[in-house]
Amino acid sequence: MSWGGPPSGLMVAPGTFSVSLSKEVNGVITSLSESQEFEVVPLRKGALEGASPKDVAAFWRQYENGVRASSALNLALKNAKTKVAGMKKAIAQSTTETGALDTRLTTIRKNLLELDVQLNGSPSKRQPGEKTKPTIGERLFAVSRGIDHSTYGPTASHKRSLEIATTEMKSIQKGLEKNLQELSALAKELLEKGAPWMEGEVLPR
């Protein structure tokens, strides 16, 4: 996980872990040592009683899943919008008459832009002084600032922020999957009408 800095991960909960050493040469992995166990213990005891190490680690994993889902949605949306741009050119090179296919593609593009706003906020409202609803990324960043390098445990605010972000991402994913299916169906129709093959679709026969 990284919010502008080098990739890094969260700490681990106290417990027993194992480690081993190996090397990879030309795709062949060779073990260099036996597995050894080691203990991870807290460096200090906090002044306030926090959540149990098990609960803290469980929330860390939930947060990591949220970040993974957010990254996947952003990448999928970016690729989908690129595909729409390519399909617009494909329609121009197909033998179909202008009309229905153009309308369907325009609708899909509009839907994708709306999903992008739900995920990342409106570009026109990102200026200083504009009152906007927190984006999913901002909610995840707020959680990150609260739990990074801390074993105290999530606060009620952290839990709520992650819950809202997760719920919103599930809704966006559902809408995105629906539009991706419609894009694939449209790409198949275009191919049948002599348009170029679209990357990511079934190879033409």
Q: Which residues contact 69 (CB under 8 A, 6 or more apart)?
A: 166, 169, 173
**Each residue of 178-196: pLDDT tens digit?**
999 999 888 888 777 777 7
Q: Which two tokens stand for residue 62?
A: 């939930």
Residue 121: which pLDDT band, with cuts at 50, 70 and 90?
confident
**Each residue of 6-53: pLDDT tens digit?**
556 677 778 888 999 999 998 899 999 889 999 988 777 766 676 787
Q: Mean of the pLDDT values across residues 89-102?
A: 74
Residue 125: which pLDDT band, with cuts at 50, 70 and 90?
low
**Each residue of 148-175: pLDDT tens digit?**
777 777 888 999 999 999 999 999 999 9
d(CA 137, CA 116): 12
Give yes or no for a contact between 57 and 33, defined as CB atoms under 8 angstroms apart.
no
Angle, vertex CA 82, rays to CA 79 and CA 86, nearest 5: 135
Strands (E), 103-194: none
d(CA 145, CA 157): 12
Beta strand 15-19 pairing with 22-25? unpaired
- Closest to 144 measured CA to CA, from 28, 136, 109: 136
d(CA 118, CA 77): 12
